[in-house]
Chain A
Amino acid sequence: MDKLERTRNFCIVAHIDHGKSTLADRLIERTGTLAKRDMQAQLLDSMELEREKGITIKLTPTRMKYNYNGEEYILNLIDTPGHVDFTYEVSRSLQACEGAILIVDASQGVEAQTLANAYLAIDNNLEILPVINKIDLPSARPEEVKAEIEDIIGVPAGHAPCISAKDGTNIDSVLEMIVKEFPSPKGDKEGKLKCLIFDSYYDNFKGAICFVRVVDGRVKQGDKILMMQTGKTYEVTEVGYFVPNMKSCEALEAGDVGYIAASIKTISDVAVGDTITHLNAPCDNALAGYKKVQPVVYCGVFPVDGAKYNELKDALEKLKLNDASLEYQPEVSDALGFGFRCGFLGLLHLEIITERIEREFNLDIITTAPSVYYKVHKTNGSVIEISNPSDLPSPVEIEYIEEPVVKANIFTPPEYVGAVMELCQNKRGEYKGLTYLDKSRVRVDYVLPLGEIVYDFFDSLKSRTKGYASFDYSMAGFARSELVRVDVLLNGEKCDALSLIVHKDDAYSRGRVLTEKLKKIIPRQLFEVPIQAAIGNKIIARETISAMRKDVLAKCYGGDITRKRKLLEKQKEGKKRMRRIGSVEIPSEAFMTILKLDNDE
C-alpha cells in the first residue's frame, strides 16, 4: 500500500471539558509515540497556563504510528482549543485534516460548542466520527447521547465508540475507526509543491516555524521556497514532524503534516493560511487561505509603575511572536499615562494574555474595562470605528452609532429557560427562537450585542443556570443602537480611563453602581472628594468620599527615628502604585473594579 493511503490526518473537536486533551494523551500513549515515563497529563498543553486552567490554547500536532491488519499507518493528530474565543484556531486546523473526532461527554450530551464545532467540521467537508467519552461516570447515558447526536447534529452515531479516556477504556476501537472511517489524504507527491501554513510558532534557535500540511509535492532541506501571499523567499533549513516534540526528517510529502524551518526571523513574516511553494517551480494557484482574524474585545493595558512602559512593550512583542491574533498599539491616557490599546479574540484570551504578562514577565499592569469596537456615523457623513470610549466624538457630532452583535446559541435544561431568557432580555437581546432538542435540553437562540457579552454575560449565565447552560456565539454584523458614554468625574475632573460606553437605558444604573464601587475603593484624601458619573454635562450619579482624618505615626520613642523614617519611605513607595487625577490619588485596583460591576445590583 502507498504511504499516502496509510496516512490519516484528523483533529479532535469537542465542547470544553469533554475530554479532548485526555483522549489525545491516550492515543499518544497507546500508539507508543512517547515512552510512558515521558507522559504527563495533557502533554499537548505545553504552556503552564494551559495545564493549570485545563484548557488548550495553541494547536499542537502529533504524528503517531499504528499497526492495523499488518500495515503501519501514520496518524497525524491536531489537538484544538475548545473555548469559543479560539474558534478561529479550530477552523484553521480543520483545513489540514480529512477527519474529525467529535467527542461528546456521555453524561452532559451535546453542548453549544459540540454543535458549533461539528458544524465547522461539516463546513470543511470533514468525515465526522462521534466518540462518546466518560462512560465511567455513574451518570453516563451513552445510548441517549448517541440519539442526541443524530437528532441535533444529524450525524450517524450508532457505531460511535463508547470510551473512557481517563481509564483508557476502548481506546483501540477509536484507533481502528480512525483508520477505517477517515479517508486518506488526496494529493500528488510528484506534483508542484503546495503546503498550507495552518499555524506558526517562534523558536529561539530556529526562528519562526511553519506548521504545514503538504497538499502536493515534496519539500526537503535546502529547497528554495516562496510564500505566495507575502512574496517572501527562504531556504529550508529543516523539515520534520511532531512526536509531539519536533523531530527532523528527510522530507515532507503530499499528505504529511509537519513543520518547515527556514531561518525566518520574525513570526510576522509567517502568514497563517499562506501557501508555501517552490521558488523555481511554483504551483499555479495558492490555496484558499484564511480570513484575517479580527479582535473582538479591546482594553487598555498600562504598567502600574509608569517607568516600566518599555518592559511592557517588550512583553507584548514577545507574546505577539506566538500569538498572531494579539493586536496592540500605543495609547496615552490622562489618568494612566503611556500604555497600549490591545485587541483580543475574547475575554478568555484577554485574561490569558494579561495573566501571562504578569507571570512570565513579572510586570504589574492595570487593565481598563473591556470594550468592543463601534461604528460611529457622524453628522458630517463620515464613519469612524472606535474601540476606546474616550475616542467617542461629542454627542452633537454623532448621527448614530452601530455596535457589533452576535448570534448566540444557548443550551440549557428546560427548567432554566425562563432564567436564560430573562438574562438575554436584560442584555438587550433579540429573541430568535427556542428549540426543544429532547426532554432534558433546550436550545435558545438570541441576537445579542457583543458589548453585553464581554461584560459579564458568562458569569451571569453560569450563576442563573447553576452552571448547566452552555453557550456559543458567532459574529453577526452591526446593529444600530442608542449608546452613550458614561464619564467619571473625580473632584470635578474627568478620568478618561474610567469611561464606559453603555446603552442609554443602562446608563443610570451603571453610573450608580460605578460611583458606589469607586467610593469603596478610593482611599480618603485630605479633602472631600465628590465622585460623579456623567453623560456629557449631565450628572447622573454622585457619591462623596469624606476627608481623611487620621494618618499619623506613633510616638518617636526612645529616639528610634529610623523605624519611623522607614515607615514613611514605605508609604512614599506605595504612592508609586497610585494614579493621580487632578489632585485625587487613585489606587491601581480602582481601574479594575469597573470590570467587575455586578449588573444585578
Chain B
Amino acid sequence: MNKLGIYIHIPFCESKCIYCDFASFCCAEQEKDKYFQFLRKEIERCDIRGREVDTIYIGGGTPSCVEEGYLEEIIFTLKENYIFSKDMEISIECNPNSIDFEKLKKYNEFGINRISFGVQSLHDNALKTIGRLHTSEMALQAIKMAKKAGFNNINADLLIGLPNSTIGGLCEDAEKLINAGVTHISAYMLQVEEGAKLFSLVKSGKLILPSDDESVSQYDALVSFLEKRGFSRYEISNFALENFECKHNLKYWSGSEYLGFGLSAHSYLGNIRQANSRNFMDYYKGKISKEILTNEDMVEEKIMLGLRCRLGFSLKELSVLGYDITKNQNFQNFVDKGILKVEKGIVRLKPEYYGTSNYIIANLLP
C-alpha cells in the first residue's frame, strides 16, 4: 500500500496579510487550546489509523505562532496512531518574526526536518505594504538560525508581482536567500482573491500592481536565474536543489493519497476528496464536504496537475480512465505547435508555456 501524506492545518496568525484568503484567524489562547484538543481527537478518530505515513506538513496560518507544546502533542498523537516511515519528511511553515533559536531547536527534537519560511520579499517597503510583521533582515537571520539549529532542508516563499517589484529586485532576493542557505524556493504570483483586503485596495486604485505581462516577465527571469543556481523547476511555482523537492507537495500533484486534519483541511483517499469546514463552529460539529470523483474528474485532475509539474502525465493513465486525449484536436494542435511534448508516452508542457498553462489545460479537458 502506498505511503500516506498528512496535512495539519494551524489556522492562527498574529496578523492577517492583505493578500490572504485562507482559513486563518488572530485568536485568543483559549480558542487555540480548544482547537488543539479537537484536532487531537480528530486524528485519533480517523478510521484508517495504522497506515504508514512518510510525509507530514504542518501549514497554516502560521504554525510557528503557537506554543511549541501544541505541536509536540500533535506529532506525538500522530506517532501513536500511524506508522512513521524511516524516510519521514516533516515540514512546518514559519514566519521569520515568530521564531527564535530555542523554538527551532525544539522543532528539530520533535522530528521536524524541513522548514518553510514565509519570506515573500526581501524589500522592507514591500513587506510593510502587504502587512508582513518582519523585515528582510529578520528573514535572513531566521534562515541562518534554522541552519544552526540543525535544519538542512529549508524553503523560502517568494511573491512575484508585488507593488513596485522589479526583475532585478526579485533576482537579488533569490540570490540573498540562496546565500543564506535555502535549498528550495516557492515563488507564487500574487493573486488578487476576492475575499482578501488586497482586492478592495486594488479595485479602489489605492494599490497599483504590476501588469500581468510584467509579472510574467519577472517569473520568467526568476526561472532562468534559479536554474543557473542549480534550482530546477519541478512544479510551476517550486524550485529545488537536487533531492530537496518537497515530497509532501509532490503527493498532491501526483495524485497520491493524503489525509488532512484541522480547519479547512483536505483529504484524498481512494477516489474521494473530502474537506473539513473552514468555519470553527461547523468544524467542531464535524461538518465535511465530500466529493466522489468520476473518471472524468480524475482525468481532469491528472491533466491539470501533470502539466503544472515536471512529471507530466502519461497517455496510458488517461486511457485507463477512458479518455484518449490524442483524439482531442486541441491536443494535436498543441503537439504540432511544440507547446506540448510527448516522450515515451509521457506528456509535458513546454516550460515557456507554464505562464499560460490554464488556457492550455482548459483546452485539453474532456
Q: Give A contacts to B, CB under 8 Å.
A: 526-527, 548-562, 564-565, 568-569, 571-572, 575, 583
Contact = CB atoms under 8 A, between A and B. Distances in A.
Given A551-B356, A553-B308, A568-B361, 7 more contacts: A526-B356, A549-B212, A552-B354, A558-B264, A568-B304, A568-B362, A583-B333
A548 B193 CA distance: 21
Contact of A565 (B193, B300, B363): B300
Contacts of A560: 266, 275
A552 B212 CA distance: 11
Given A526-B353, A552-B358, A556-B252, A561 B301 contact: yes
B361 A550 contact: no
A558 B246 CA distance: 13
B355 A549 contact: yes
Contact of A526 (B216, B253, B300, B359): B359
B70 interface: no
Contact of A551 (B7, B9, B359): B359
Interface in B334-366: 337, 339, 353-363, 365
Given A558-B7, A562-B291, A568 B358 contact: yes
Nearest to A564: B304
B362 A571 contact: yes
Given A526-B339, A549-B212, A571-B362, A562 B305 contact: no
B136 interface: no
Nearest to B334: A526
Contacts of B186: 555
B21 to A, nearest CB: 10
Interface string B263-286: 011111000010100000000000
A583 B7 CA distance: 43
Given A571-B362, A572-B362, A583-B333, A558 B265 contact: yes
15 contacts: A526-B360, A549-B356, A550-B215, A551-B358, A551-B359, A552-B354, A552-B357, A553-B357, A556-B305, A559-B260, A561-B266, A561-B301, A564-B304, A569-B365, A575-B362
Interface string B236-280: 110000000000000011000010100011111000010100000
A552 to B, nearest CB: 5
A571 B363 CA distance: 9
Given A550-B213, A552-B189, A568-B300, A559 B258 contact: yes
A559 B268 contact: yes
B304 A565 contact: yes
Contact of B301 (A550, A557, A558, A565): A565
Contacts of A555: 186, 188, 237
A526 B361 CA distance: 12
Nearest to A562: B273
Contacts of B7: 558-559
B227 interface: no
A516 to B, nearest CB: 20
Given A568-B304, A568-B362, A569-B365, A551 B266 contact: no
B252 A549 contact: no
Contacts of A526: 339, 353, 356, 359-360
A575 B333 CA distance: 17
Contacts of B266: 558-562
Contacts of A558: 7, 9, 22, 59, 260, 264-266
Contacts of A572: 362-363, 365
Contact of B188 (A549, A554, A561, A562): A554
A575 B366 CA distance: 13
Contacts of A552: 189, 236, 354-358
Closest A-B pairs by Cβ, 3 of them: A550-B212, A571-B362, A559-B266
A174 to B, nearest CB: 57
Contacts of A548: 356, 359
B85 interface: no
A306 to B, nearest CB: 16
B175 interface: no
A556 B246 CA distance: 13
A328 to B, nearest CB: 32
Contacts of B265: 558-559
B191 interface: yes
Interface string B207-222: 0000011011000000
Nearest to B273: A562
Nearest to A549: B216
A559 B186 CA distance: 16
B358 A571 contact: yes
Contacts of A549: 212-213, 216, 355-356
Contact of B273 (A553, A554, A561, A568): A561
B297 interface: yes
A561 B9 contact: no
B188 A568 contact: no
A208 B133 CA distance: 77
B191 A554 contact: yes
A469 B107 CA distance: 82
A559 B236 contact: no
A548 B273 CA distance: 33
A524 to B, nearest CB: 9
Contacts of A571: 358-359, 362
B212 A575 contact: no
A244 B264 CA distance: 63
Contacts of A583: 333
A575 B339 CA distance: 20
A37 B333 CA distance: 67
A433 to B, nearest CB: 55
A550 B215 CA distance: 8
Contacts of A561: 252, 266, 268, 273, 301, 305
Contacts of A559: 7, 252, 258, 260, 265-268
Contact of B356 (A550, A556, A564): A550
B139 to A, nearest CB: 20
A212 to B, nearest CB: 59
A585 to B, nearest CB: 9
A549 B214 CA distance: 9
A529 to B, nearest CB: 14
A561 B305 CA distance: 9
Given A549-B216, A552-B357, A565-B297, A557 B268 contact: no
Contacts of B353: 526
A553 B360 CA distance: 12
A556 B267 CA distance: 13
A552 B355 CA distance: 6
A564 B304 CA distance: 9
Contacts of B22: 557-558
A564 B59 CA distance: 19
Interface in B173-225: 186, 188-189, 191, 193, 212-213, 215-216
A534 to B, nearest CB: 26
Nearest to A574: B362
- Which of B252, B275, B362 has most A Cβ within 10 Å? B362
Contacts of B365: 568-569, 572
Given A551-B355, A552-B356, A555-B188, A562 B362 contact: no
A569 B361 CA distance: 10
- Which of B59, B297, B359 has most A Cβ within 10 Å? B359
A550 B352 CA distance: 11
- Which of A552, A553, A554, A571 has most B Cβ within 10 Å? A552
B216 A550 contact: yes
Nearest to B9: A558
A523 to B, nearest CB: 9
A278 to B, nearest CB: 65
- Which of A554, A565, A571 has most B Cβ within 10 Å? A565
Contacts of A554: 188-189, 191, 193
Contacts of B264: 558
A346 B357 CA distance: 47
B146 to A, nearest CB: 22
Contacts of A557: 22, 59
Interface string B1-36: 000000101000000000000100000000000000
